[in-house]
Amino acid sequence: MLKIQPNFLVESSSSTRLPTWLESLLSEKFFNPCMIHEDAKKNEKNIFCVDCCEAICHHCLHLHNSHRLLQIRRYVYHDVIRVGDAEKLMDCSYVQAYTANSAKVVFLNPRPQTRISRNLSNNCIGCERGLQDPYLFCSLSCKIHHIMRSEGMMSEYLHECEILTLPEPGSDDWLMTPESVIEPFVSLTTSSSGLNTNCARVDHLTIVRKKRSSKFEISGAAREAIHPPELEATVNRRKGMPRRSPFN
């Protein structure tokens, strides 16, 4: 039975001091049709307005020209954002990141998993999903939940960001698919005072998930080994006219 991990959300109050935009970002349902532009094509809500704390589609952009906008992307039906965009708003250190289509991304919320990987050497502090060393969290939500539970506020981990714009149309418009080749990426340039600082720093990981092809192809060398050119010439050579043996 599939066990779905809950989204770690913390209600905003004077004691927790969790920003409204951050709570909305983690709880928002992206890629649903926009009700305002329900008759328009490509009306998926894949943009988050930090100032309005809501998801919008690209047809709504004219109403948010001067606002801070965050592009949301998908990998295997789960929401991800670019590390470069996320780091403008918050500290993303120790969150496992991936490289896909030349962009480094992190998951917003923990992904469902059939069973908890407690026997692995390194698990997520929030949901116990198996991670690559030296990561501590599988998503931004798991890190935020841990900080709120241990420290009660996010102010030390948030960054001042007055301008946050979308990429140029067509330059970075992609949806990650299950066939995408991804590889872990370590980014521990910033340290968190409330986290475990004894983790070893990894500068390079060479683990790459390769795509598999369902087609069976025979290389040129193998094809020549099966059917040598000399054999093919002998087989395909036309037989000459028959000749009778001379009488003795």
pLDDT digits (tens, 9 = 90+) for 22-36: 999 999 999 999 999
Residue 59 has pLDDT above 50, yes or no: yes
Backbone angles phi, psi at 82, to 5 degrees: -70, 140
Tokens of 209: 């998930």
Residue 142 has pLDDT above 50, yes or no: yes
Rounded to whole angstroms, the Cα distance separating 73 from 44 reads 11
Rounded to whole angstroms, the Cα distance separating 44 from 117 reads 34
**Of the ranges 48-62, 92-106, 200-214, 225-239, which is most confident?**
48-62
Instruction: Provide the 3-class DSSP secondary structure of residue 90.
Output: strand
Contacts of 178 (CB under 8 A, 6+ apart): 76
Contacts of 126 (CB under 8 A, 6+ apart): 8, 110, 137, 138, 139, 141, 142, 143, 145, 146
Domain definitions of the chain by residue range: 20-185
Contact 124, 138 (CB under 8 A): yes
Contact 61, 34 (CB under 8 A): no
Burial class (CB in 10 A: 0-12, 13-18, 19+), 94: buried
Percent of the chain with pLDDT strictly greater than 70: 59
Q: What is the pLDDT of residues 165-222, one digit of tens each?
A: 998 765 555 455 444 444 455 544 444 444 543 333 333 222 233 333 333 343 444 4
Tokens of 119: 């026997």
Rounded to whole angstroms, the Cα distance separating 166 from 57 reads 12
Contact 72, 46 (CB under 8 A): yes
Say what angle helices 140-150 and 20-27 make with each other, to 10 degrees: 140
Contacts of 175 (CB under 8 A, 6+ apart): 73, 74
**For residue 63, what is the DSSP state?**
G
**β partners of residue 56:** 47
pTM of the model as a whole: 0.67
**β partners of residue 81:** 106
